[in-house]
Structure 1
Amino acid sequence: MSDDALRPMARTRLYEQVVERLRSHVADGGLRAGDRLPPERELAQRLGVSRASVRQAIVVLEVQGLVEVRHGGGTYLVGDSLDAEPVERLMERRRRLPDVLEAREALETKLAELAAERRTEDDLTAIAAALDHMEREIAGGGHGVEGDRLFHAAVTAAAHSALLAEFMRSIAEQIAESRTESLRQPGRPARSLAQHRAIQEAIAAGRPGPAATAMRRHVRTVAKVRLLSWDPS
């Protein structure tokens, strides 16, 4: 018998059970985006758990952008389901995210600076097309994830640095995680689009310093996510 077979058995945390019950409640009740969940006190009574466990479950759902907590106004569904990510995976992303954001700031700030120096008319066209795509996504009720990806890819291409582009490709999966995490923050898609426009303008004007500053400001905004303020303990 291998040692791995005798590893400690995982125990489901009580608040994870609450999350699963809430998911079933939303699915069975046919609740939709904008609908309100029962108050914490009622949920605790009906589930036979403490309000602290209910509160922990709500925080986990809020971190994932599945609910919006309006102080003094209750908890509301953001989408039509509560298909939550497993807590262990959420904790792993929380551990990894600061390093990813640090790398993004270092790489993308330099890429924006180089793009302002080296961009061609084709590069500017690609950047503008990416922002138009993002704007359409947001107008249609989306988060603008694909437009965001296209924009940063176009800036990377405009820098005409093969090695920096390779570095970006090497962490593409982690960047995608940080992109999704950021854009599901309330009000973030429109703010990111505005920051992208500022970066675009500096690159188009051939101003390396302002382009780098605008990109740094943008990536630091990306870093402001609910996940990093969550205390798993």
Structure 2
Amino acid sequence: MDSLKPVARPRLYETVARQIVTWMSDNEVRPGDRLPPERELAVKLGVSRATISQALVAMEVVGAISVRHGDGAIVTSLSADVKLVEAIREHAQRLPDILDARDALESKLAALAAERRTEADMAAIDAALDFMLSELDAGERGVDGDERFHAAVTQAAHSQLLAKLMGEISGLIRETRVESLGQPGRPRESMIQHRTVAEAIRAGDPALAAAAMHSHLSAIRKGRALGEG
């Protein structure tokens, strides 16, 4: 009996993702092809658009599709449905650890940035915020701008070792970024939180900067939990 383990119950979006991949295989979909619109998928599968969106985000995280503004979901690679769902499940299981690591590293980086930032560093942080805003205004999710912002904060901390650690988990961090910014309303909320972090760094207040970054990353964790409900 010791060898028996609880059976993992698949989340609804995992089942939906598998259905989509099966449809892709049955219809000989190839990389570069476009998936049907979310509204159509929701009707065909009998689920909400929110569930479809969550399934597509999960597929994007593991590299099966790319979601582009104005183009919809574009297939980037093909994989057996079992392998895809396994990859999605593995991502879901490791995400809490990734967020813990981000919180520990980036809260400290924000505090150091408040102490050590130069005018050039602040200019880079402001430029990243402007770039993310331009993405959001264009209807994008702001993934590149988000990445630029966190990279600018890391640079402003002037800690080679912490920057190296961030670089080593950059791929894992991108998973959290894509998933978080794929949630409805999240990009604008993230933008506001980024500005709060930036202002604390500008003010030279390490404690406030660390608290602002921690709050930002806690919101990512909370949003993910709500998305799985």
Q: TM-score, normalised by structure 2?
A: 0.71
Change (3 A) 1:15 1:170: closer
Q: State the partner residue of 1:138.
A: 136
Q: Which runs of 5+ in 1 are unaligned?
A: 1-12, 45-53, 68-77
Whole-Å Cα distance in 2 between the matches of residues 162 and 100 of structure 1? Answer: 20
Judge conservation of contact 1:63–1:226 (CA < 8 Å) in 2: no
Change (3 A) 1:134 1:14: closer
Whole-Å Cα distance in 1 between the matches of residues 172 and 15 of structure 2? Answer: 30
Q: State the partner residue of 1:18.
A: 19
Judge conservation of contact 1:61–1:82 (CA < 8 Å) in 2: no
Query: Cα deviation per residue 1:17-57 (whole Å; 9 max; x = unaligned)?
Result: 633466689x999854655742xxxx57xxxxxxxxx65x9
Which one has a bigger Cα radius of gyration? 1
Judge conservation of contact 2:38–2:49 (CA < 8 Å) in 1: no
Q: State the partner residue of 1:98.
A: 96
SS in 1 for 2:72: coil
Aligned residue type for 1:132:
D
Q: State the partner residue of 1:148.
A: 146
Q: Percent identity?
A: 43
The CA deviation at 1:81 is 4.1
Q: Which runs of 4+ in 1 moved over 6 A?
A: 27-30, 57-60
Aligned residue type for 1:118:
R
SS in 2 for 1:186: coil
Aligned residue type for 1:155:
V
Q: Does 1:188 align with 2:186?
A: yes
Change (3 A) 1:60 1:37: closer
Q: How does 1:193-204 map to 2 (within 5 A)?
A: 193-204=191-202
Query: Cα deviation per residue 1:105-139 (whole Å; 9 max; x = unaligned)?
Result: 00000000010011000000000000000000111
Judge conservation of contact 1:114–1:159 (CA < 8 Å) in 2: yes
Judge conservation of contact 2:133–2:191 (CA < 8 Å) in 1: yes
Whole-Å Cα distance in 2 between the matches of residues 30 and 212 of structure 1? Answer: 41
Q: How does 1:84-233 map to 2 (within 5 A)?
A: 86-226=84-224, 230=228
Whole-Å Cα distance in 2 between the matches of residues 126 and 29 of structure 1? Answer: 36
SS in 2 for 1:206: coil
Q: State the partner residue of 1:61.
A: 52
Aligned residue type for 1:171:
I
Change (3 A) 1:30 1:228: closer
Whole-Å Cα distance in 2 between the matches of residues 29 and 123 of structure 1? Answer: 40
Q: CA RMSD in A?
A: 3.5
Instruction: Pick one of 67, 80, 85 that aligns with 2:72.
Output: 80
Change (3 A) 1:143 1:93: same
Aligned residue type for 2:206:
P
SS in 1 for 2:165: helix
Q: TM-score, normalised by structure 1?
A: 0.70
SS in 2 for 1:142: coil
Whole-Å Cα distance in 2 between the matches of residues 14 and 113 of structure 1? Answer: 42
